[in-house]
């Protein structure tokens, strides 16, 4: 029984431009030819294959929105969304490496960096350097701005002390966008963003978490012990880190929504192929109306989520505020992915509960969508504030 995509699975109904369709096809081909053969090995090793990461750089997927002068593709958030969705149909771990690079690292560096910072850092981000975004801490998750990490002014720079937790790409990254509190007495207005490099004295990467899903993606802690960061590496104005963090997360939530679209679509594609092949009571499972209705419901929810995610990406590319739309897209897409992947495991029956078939991995990978880059409850809070203001 095949676990690959069924030829009869229709492509997304949402219209894309010709350029976007060509881009989607190119990333889909990359996912099939380069990612799929590596999925099981990367899952077992708990690490994205460095050769695959090199492919991402080579094909421009690690700098999609960055200007051409820095080696970027000068594309759009919509193109990032397409890339993450297509990669996630095969492997969510590979996809999140691309997503974080583009939405949580490159975006704030390009948006808030000085000319000098962009010239120094961005060419590396498009050629061979992985980045990470460091906001969460052991004691501040949803309370994102209750930071314990401190930054004290020193001659020519700042000294950072503290720890970060749940840092995606932490194991491979060499450049980190780090948030620290310079004036705890000022609350969130005392937070500043810094560009920290892996070789800075006193900076260490902690243990890699042993996770339920996206197991090939590294999630680590970070530790700062009297780490000196020069003034030239302050990102944006001192005290405006909260603004940078919020705006960056708004973009990042679109990427998570896209990841959840891909995870759900990958599971549904596999299930459709299986349902057409598996026979019970003298006919294929796909011929049973009870099965058909469940698949129809899943496909409808998936397409609704896709429309929400794409709409938010389009709005962001048009320069609109997407705090509400991004939260809605991320909330619904992650909830949908849980439902759809769970159904797909059931549609496979006992086989779905084994690692011989891909749906159990899609199911495990879907869970993180309701947690990182803002839990579902935090998305609901953001939406409620926008609706009730």
Instruction: Report the C-alpha gap between 227 and 249 in whole angstroms.
Output: 25
Sequence ranges of the domains in the chain: 18-130, 132-239, 243-388
pLDDT for res 141: 87
Least confident span in 25-29, 119-123, 140-144: 140-144
Class of domain 132-239 as given by CATH:
mainly beta
What pairing do the DSSP bridges indicate for beta strands 131-134 and 175-181?
parallel
Catalytic residue among 209, 301, 338, 373: 373
pLDDT, one tens digit per residue, over 245-292 is: 999 999 999 999 999 999 999 999 999 999 999 999 999 999 999 999
Closest CA to 79 of 108, 99, 52, 106: 99
Class of domain 18-130 as given by CATH:
mainly alpha
pLDDT, one tens digit per residue, over 294-318 is: 999 999 999 999 999 999 999 999 9
pLDDT for res 14: 64
What pairing do the DSSP bridges indicate for beta strands 157-168 and 150-154?
antiparallel
pLDDT, one tens digit per residue, over 39-57 is: 999 999 999 999 999 999 9
Instruction: Report the C-alpha gap between 332 and 379 in whole angstroms.
Output: 10
Q: Say which residue the tokens 């090995």 belong to.
A: 41
Instruction: Report the C-alpha gap between 376 and 179 in whole angstroms.
Output: 23
pLDDT for res 1: 40
pLDDT, one tens digit per residue, over 124-144 is: 999 999 999 999 999 998 888
Instruction: Report the C-alpha gap between 90 and 263 in whole angstroms.
Output: 8
Has 58 been annotated as catalytic? no
pLDDT, one tens digit per residue, over 176-211 is: 999 999 999 898 899 999 999 999 999 999 999 999
pTM equals 0.95
- Residue 3, pLDDT > 70, answer no
Mean pLDDT over the full length of the chain = 95
pLDDT for res 5: 43
pLDDT band, very low/low/confident/very high, at 2 (cuts 50, 70, 90): very low
Class of domain 243-388 as given by CATH:
mainly alpha
Closest CA to 125 of 169, 180, 166, 167: 169
pLDDT, one tens digit per residue, over 344-361 is: 999 999 999 999 999 999
Closest CA to 84 of 44, 24, 126, 174: 24
Instruction: Report the C-alpha gap between 96 and 346 in whole angstroms.
Output: 26
């Amino acid at each position: 029984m095949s676990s690959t995509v069924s030829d009869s699975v229709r492509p997304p109904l949402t219209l894309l431009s010709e350029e976007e369709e060509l881009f989607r096809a190119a990333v889909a081909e990359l996912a099939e030819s380069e990612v799929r053969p590596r999925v099981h090995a990367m899952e077992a090793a708990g690490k994205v294959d460095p050769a695959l990461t090199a492919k991402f750089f080579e094909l421009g997927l690690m700098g999609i929105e960055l200007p051409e002068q820095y080696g970027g593709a000068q594309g759009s958030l919509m193109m990032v969304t397409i890339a993450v969705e297509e990669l996630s149909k095969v492997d969510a771990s590979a996809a999140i490496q691309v997503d974080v690079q583009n939405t949580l690292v490159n975006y704030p560096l390009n948006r808030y960096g000085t000319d000098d910072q962009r010239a120094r850092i961005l060419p590396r981000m498009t050629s061979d350097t992985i980045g990470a975004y460091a906001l969460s801490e052991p004691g501040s998750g949803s309370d994102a701005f209750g930071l314990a990490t401190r930054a004290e002014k020193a001659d020519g720079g700042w000294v950072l002390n503290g720890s970060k937790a749940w840092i995606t790409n932490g194991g491979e990254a060499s450049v980190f966008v780090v948030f620290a509190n310079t004036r705890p007495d000022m609350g969130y207005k005392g937070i500043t963003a810094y560009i920290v490099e892996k070789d800075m004295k006193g900076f260490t990467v902690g243990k890699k978490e042993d996770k339920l899903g996206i197991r090939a993606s590294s999630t680590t802690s970070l530790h700062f012990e009297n780490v000196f960061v020069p003034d030239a590496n302050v990102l944006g104005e001192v005290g405006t880190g909260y603004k940078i963090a919020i705006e960056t997360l708004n973009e990042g939530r679109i990427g998570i929504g896209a990841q959840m679209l891909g995870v759900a679509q990958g599971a549904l594609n596999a299930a459709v192929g299986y349902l057409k092949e598996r026979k019970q009571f003298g006919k294929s499972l796909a011929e049973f109306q009870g099965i058909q209705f469940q698949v129809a419901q899943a496909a409808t929810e998936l397409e609704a989520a896709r429309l929400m995610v794409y709409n938010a990406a389009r709005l962001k590319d048009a320069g609109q505020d997407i705090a509400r739309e991004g939260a809605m897209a991320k909330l619904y897409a992650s909830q949908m992915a849980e439902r759809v992947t769970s159904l797909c495991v059931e549609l496979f029956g006992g086989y779905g509960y084994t690692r011989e078939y891909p749906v159990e991995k899609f199911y495990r990978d879907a869970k993180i969508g309701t947690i990182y880059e803002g839990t579902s409850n935090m998305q609901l809070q953001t939406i409620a504030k926008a609706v009730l203001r």
